[in-house]
Structure 1
Amino acid sequence: MPVANNPIWNIPNILTLLRIAAIPLLATLLLSPTRDAGFWAAALFSAASVTDWLDGYLARRMGIETVFGKFLDPIADKLIVMAALIMILPFGRVPAWMVLVILGREIIITGLRGIASTEGIVIPASDLGKYKTIFQIVAIIGLLLHYDYHPYFSIDHPLLTVNMHNVGMFYLWIATVITIWSGVDYLAKFIKVIAK
């Protein structure tokens, strides 16, 4: 679909900007490792993640895709994911090497996309990138919640307790594998296209 000549201030772009505006609030909440702070940080991160899907859906549905939105949306996604991961590093909730791998992949791929675009080359994103984002989001929500939760609030039993940190780490391992896989896949496509 061609990019429409619409003003920057439309609903999808405002949602994207709100996602970026949520980052300082998220970082402030994550200055404290308490259960309450983690809960509200997870709620804020979840709401921001919903806007990630909603802004793209509305832009396509309303026919108001803009160059600004196409540029800003992936940046907003990367910023809020990295902000969350970096802010929980000091509390030992996530291995530093995983954060480094995820951050490094995003920097490298963003750089390669920039190089390709200056040459007028568009390398389409694969489904791996979408899966990577989904698993990162689920992992981060679990890591922000961190503590034990009881699905049945009236029953406090070890077998009915869910440790959200373990849930988060399970999905972060999957996200890290897909992050590496999608990065290698994009790099291979980039080399193939540039070689031509």
Structure 2
Amino acid sequence: MPFNLPILLTWFRVVLIPICVAVFFLPDSILLSDMRNTTGAVIFALAAFTDWADGFLARRLGQTSAFGAFLDPVADKLIVAAALILLVELNRTPGWMAMIIIGREIAISALREWMAEMGSRKSVAVAYIGKLKTTAQMVAILMLLYDGPIIPGIDTWTLGNLCMVVAVILTLWSMVYYLRMAAHEFKGKKIDV
């Protein structure tokens, strides 16, 4: 396993997952409710930043690796899934939205693995629609974790759930996109199931 700054940042993101979740279950004697929201949102924002930073640094420093390419999406999916489950537990977003997003992540990860075994992983490589989906869900999660005022008159719960609806739509759209790209690879190939 290579050890470099990008991989260290990815591991840091993995470590932030239980910390982010645990903050919301601290008693008021340790951290008041408003501070839990702010602290949890800051931790999640830091994790989201490391998602960008590790990829940027890996390319910039020439420190890309097969292990980093494996660990980065795993860390991304873990933090998103943990945050979505937390938001459902806190009654800040509906469970069906979380299920769609988490279900899509599992399905597309499995599809990518299958396509890699067939030697066609590039046909389901991350596309622009996937990046839009990720941005929408990160913004939605951040707002819903914060769950407080940003500008007087703007409710982050409503705005966060509106972004979550956009994220769900982009999630379904990107899933269809990736499935169609994979279907093109299957045409003319004998597939053992």
Please give the TM-score of this superposition, normalised by the length of structure 2. 0.89
User: Displacement, 1:51?
Assistant: 0.7
Q: Find the aligned partners of 1:51 and 1:150 in 2 and give their Cα distance.
A: 23
- AA aligned to 1:167 is L
What is residue 21 of structure 2 aligned with on the other side? 27
User: Displacement, 1:167?
Assistant: 1.6
SS state of the match for residue 141, structure 1?
helix
SS state of the match for residue 2, structure 2?
coil
Q: Find the aligned partners of 2:15 and 2:2 in 1 and give their Cα distance.
A: 16
Q: Find the aligned partners of 2:153 and 2:38 in 1 and give their Cα distance.
A: 16
User: Displacement, 1:91?
Assistant: 2.1
- Choose the corresponding residue for 2:153, options 154, 161, 168: 161
What is residue 109 of structure 1 aligned with on the other side? 108
Residues 150/119 of structure 1: CA separation in 2 closer, same or farther (3 Å cut)? closer
User: Displacement, 1:31?
Assistant: 2.5
Residues 168/62 of structure 1: CA separation in 2 closer, same or farther (3 Å cut)? same
What is residue 157 of structure 1 aligned with on the other side? none
| Alignment check: 8 A CA contact 1:31 1:87 kept | no
Q: Verify: 1:83 aligned to 2:89, yes or no.
A: no
Cα-to-partner distance string for 1:117-174 (whole Å, 9 max, x where unaligned): 1111122221011011111110001000113x254xxxxxxxx332111121111111
* Runs of 5+ unmatched residues, structure 2: 27-31, 189-193
- Choose the corresponding residue for 1:189, options 168, 181, 189: 181
SS state of the match for residue 158, structure 2?
helix
What is residue 130 of structure 1 aligned with on the other side? 131
Cα-to-partner distance string for 1:16-56 (whole Å, 9 max, x where unaligned): 01000101101101225922111100000001111101100
SS state of the match for residue 53, structure 1?
helix
- AA aligned to 2:3 is W
Q: Find the aligned partners of 1:150 and 1:17 in 2 and give their Cα distance.
A: 31
Q: Verify: 1:100 aligned to 2:92, yes or no.
A: no
* Runs of 5+ unmatched residues, structure 1: 1-6, 152-159
**Equivalences, count:** 181
| Alignment check: 8 A CA contact 2:132 2:170 kept | yes
C-alpha RMSD over aligned residues: 1.4
